[in-house]
Structure 1
Amino acid sequence: MEKRWQMAMKLTISKVTGRARLGVITSLGQSGEKTLEVPGCLLYTRTASPPHLTHDTLQSIAGVPPVTHVTLSTLAEHQEVLEEYKDGIRKFAGLSDTLLYCSINDPVTLNPPGYNTTKTVSVWGSGGRLELTPQKFISLQRALRVDWMQCLSDGEAMADGCSRKRAKKSVDRSLAFLDECLKLMSEDEVLKETVVIGAIEGGDVQEERLRSARETAKRSVGGFLLDGFQGSSVSPENKMALMAAVTAELPEDKPRFIHGIGRPDEVLDYIEQGVDLFDSTFPYEVTERGCALCFTHQYQPDPETAGEPQRPVRDKEELCNGEEKNEESEDPEIDRSKITSYEICLKEKRFREDFRPLLPGCTCYCCRHHSRAYVHHLLTSKELLAGILLMIHNFQLYFSFFCSVRQAMSDGKFQDLKQMIRGQAS
């Protein structure tokens, strides 16, 4: 039987700037010596494995978070296998000294709305739709044996905006699920010490969001998931106002999670409203597009270039052989609708003879050993190595971005970093 780890979630806040919180969660891991700094992110996995990577290649990445993110929707269909195995998903997947956090859904995949009821929540895996009652949910968690888990909740309300009636129903259902799950866990020897992350629901109706926050905070939860803010039709300004109102209602000593928010500029906006922990799905989505993250987060100027204006990494001067990019005429088969200004698409023909690293100055394995031209060749040849190298680079740059965020907050330079990141979005 798997040895139970220290799972207490002890958050200590060292500095607050506006609503942005700098702190650390301590007493993590098998030894209890690991820490998770906030603001921070979790290590994203698919079916409990880092995308494109083996555990050996993962070790080559600097700054890997000590908490790994697994998703119930990708693991639910393996319940019988895990129940027979008996030692949980950590050992089954070969995960080392890491804590496991389990969310209901994979943030990369938005579920179709309209399937949740007062008794069940639906998740979609490779085998199709699975309906989860609180009893089924708890039996799945017993098989997985994670350390932190998002509680069952009705998180559909904000997908395309919602009525006040639907928002109220979302909150009522989620609180009922939370109460039932807490009751079942208290009677379960395997799960009674697992940390529950309560979901804050209510769509875009502020009154219901606040009710969800207040009521969830009264329960025995170790943290809060601010659910449903990704992929909705609500304007960014209204989202920020709603987020500010909700976080003001939450206790200061428990972390706030959010899913599906990953662009560097958006991350900084949500940190500014009091969010602590993010997933790392954004680097994965960038990799799947055949792109490399290519932005700078070094907010402290080099003494040799002090006084020179900061410019985005992706400048026309950076293009191969000085060739200007014509996105309308070149490579029409590339879907640019989701490509952000923080990445370069290495499928583009302009990189065929670009022998620089993906990002000059980056210390990841890919940038130290390979060029843009080589990764372009791998992508056009549909070689699996392309995904591996891009994932190594994108993960490491993303993890180091959060290090810079924390350092900037410590130095009182958060606004300088935010201005730099926003400058690269133009």
Structure 2
Amino acid sequence: MSFKLLKQSQKSKARRGQLKTRRGIIETPFFMPIATKASVKALTYEDLEQLEAKIVLSNTYHLMLKPGNKLIKKAGGLHQFMNWSKPILTDSGGFQVFSLNKIRKITEDGVEFRSHIDGSKRFMRPEDSIQIQLDLGSDIIMALDECVELPAKKDYLEKSVELTTRWAERCKNYFEKKTLQQPQGDKAKLFGIVQGGLDKKLRIKSVHDLKTIGFDGYAIGGLSVGESEKEMYKTLDYITAELPEDKPRYLMGVGRPENIINAVKRGVDMFDCVIPTREARHGRLYLWSDATVRSPQPDIFNTPRSSYKQINIKAEKWSQDFSPINIDSRFPVLKKYSKAYLRHLFSLGEPLSIRLATLNNLEFYLDLMKKIRKSI
């Protein structure tokens, strides 16, 4: 079995487990730093080792366009290309096709779109998405789904869920055909993606359809796209209630620390989000509150928002703050350099500013997951 449930919380649906991949075991719940184009912006993979990251996420859409999946395959796969020996999850490319391309045509066979790089016309079938991810050598592969913009009319959502199910079945069939000769332990994992907007019946239908097909794990897509937090948590409640207990659950693209904590309480195991790295590039830093730092067992489940603080290091108030960027960091540079110095670097547009802020934010997010696992 690739997923092992170790502990179930007595206070919520939160759970601890282990996800076994062909490149190692990952303790759940976990967060995946985003290596969109085979690189976590401003960091090296030695940095990620020091951060104790166990898995990263790369983007199928961007990599198929540049440098191209065939070139990466020629290089020996994505792991060789980017010098990363641990697991990689790749998304299907569907979200980017639908979000970056306003002119697109969806058919039963797949989706036609234009490259955001050169405007060339492209077509992606479910089988193409799987093949590209196999070329990349991904350890966790996502089925192609239709990402619907919200709000959407119910009749369109119904058709979209049906299409996503048919595409998921095609993905599973193609994946099984292409990996038939591989020993079970050497195979990548294939995840289906639950869709259906905020409609309870459609979400439950999507879950049941995907369970019938059978996947190694189940992702929850189409959230954190403009709905309220209350709507997101309500939707998560009835999705996770229907998902199998013995398979990992992955909430795509979420989110802020309190979103992750509240999703873990609802039984989610896996997360990714651009927030820590993107916020870093804008000078916004995540730091633990003094109370959280002092406490040997911080109660982050009951006080998620007050357990941390976010500061805008570009603000004038930090110009004469000579205290360390993060005195509690394991990185000497974050303990040696001052907030005033980091603000100075940002004011000059120095690349070092982004590197330091990114190290800080990813350390915070990965530390958050450690605290969560310890609290379950």
Aligned residue runs from structure 1 range 47-66, under 5 A: 47-61=37-51, 63-64=52-53, 66=54
CA distance in 2, matches of 1:191, 1:373: 58
Go from structure 1 to structure 2 and tell me whether the alpha carbon gap of 1:59 and 1:237 turns closer, same or farther (over 3 Å shift).
closer
Aligned to 2:325: 358
Aligned residue runs from structure 1 range 100-249, under 5 A: 100-105=88-93, 110-111=99-100, 115=104, 116-121=106-111, 126-127=117-118, 130-156=122-148, 159-189=149-179, 193-232=187-226, 234-249=227-242
Go from structure 1 to structure 2 and tell me whether the alpha carbon gap of 1:95 and 1:258 turns closer, same or farther (over 3 Å shift).
same
Question: Contact (CA 8 Å) 1:258, 1:279: kept in 2 or not?
Answer: yes
Instruction: Give secondary structure in 2 for the equivalent of 1:207.
Output: helix
Aligned residue runs from structure 1 range 228-377, under 5 A: 228-232=222-226, 234-296=227-289, 299=292, 302=295, 342-377=309-344
How far has the Cα of 1:148 moved from its partner? 0.8
CA distance in 1, matches of 2:10, 2:89: 27
Q: Cα deviation per residue 1:164-210 (whole Å; 9 max; x = unaligned)?
A: 11111121111111111111122214896321110001111111110
Matched, 1:397 2:364: yes
Go from structure 1 to structure 2 and tell me whether the alpha carbon gap of 1:226 and 1:17 turns closer, same or farther (over 3 Å shift).
farther
How far has the Cα of 1:122 moved from its partner? 6.0
Q: 1:69 aligns with which of 57, 72, 75?
A: 57
Question: Contact (CA 8 Å) 1:145, 1:191: kept in 2 or not?
Answer: no
Q: Over the residues paired in the alignment, what is the CA RMSD in angstroms?
A: 2.9
Question: Contact (CA 8 Å) 1:284, 1:394: kept in 2 or not?
Answer: yes
Question: Contact (CA 8 Å) 2:94, 2:145: kept in 1 or not?
Answer: no
Go from structure 1 to structure 2 and tell me whether the alpha carbon gap of 1:394 and 1:400 turns closer, same or farther (over 3 Å shift).
same
Q: Cα deviation per residue 1:121-167 (whole Å; 9 max; x = unaligned)?
A: 467654457431123223312311111111011122xx322121111
Aligned length: 360
* Matching residue's letter, 1:144: L
Aligned residues with identical type, % of pairs: 19
Aligned to 1:40: 30
Go from structure 1 to structure 2 and tell me whether the alpha carbon gap of 1:18 and 1:244 turns closer, same or farther (over 3 Å shift).
farther
CA distance in 1, matches of 2:112, 2:10: 39
* Matching residue's letter, 1:289: H
How far has the Cα of 1:300 moved from its partner? 8.1
Question: Contact (CA 8 Å) 2:34, 2:56: kept in 1 or not?
Answer: yes
Question: Contact (CA 8 Å) 2:94, 2:147: kept in 1 or not?
Answer: no
Aligned to 1:412: none
Aligned residue runs from structure 1 range 64-103, under 5 A: 64=53, 66-77=54-65, 78-85=68-75, 87-96=76-85, 98-103=86-91
CA distance in 2, matches of 1:181, 1:57: 35
Gaps in structure 1 of 5+ consecutive residues: 1-7, 304-309, 315-340, 410-426
* Matching residue's letter, 1:216: L
Instruction: Give secondary structure in 2 for the equivalent of 1:293.
Output: strand
TM-score, length of structure 1 as denominator length: 0.77
How far has the Cα of 1:262 moved from its partner? 1.8
Go from structure 1 to structure 2 and tell me whether the alpha carbon gap of 1:370 and 1:110 turns closer, same or farther (over 3 Å shift).
farther
* Matching residue's letter, 1:69: L
* Farther off after superposition, 117-126 or 45-54: 117-126
CA distance in 2, matches of 1:176, 1:163: 20
* Matching residue's letter, 2:79: R
Go from structure 1 to structure 2 and tell me whether the alpha carbon gap of 1:9 and 1:113 turns closer, same or farther (over 3 Å shift).
farther
Q: Cα deviation per residue 1:353-403 (whole Å; 9 max; x = unaligned)?
A: 211112343333332221111111111111111111111111111110111
Question: Contact (CA 8 Å) 1:149, 1:195: kept in 2 or not?
Answer: yes
Instruction: Give secondary structure in 2 for the equivalent of 1:20.
Output: coil
Gaps in structure 2 of 5+ consecutive residues: 297-302
* Greater fraction of residues in helix: 2
Question: Contact (CA 8 Å) 2:325, 2:335: kept in 1 or not?
Answer: no
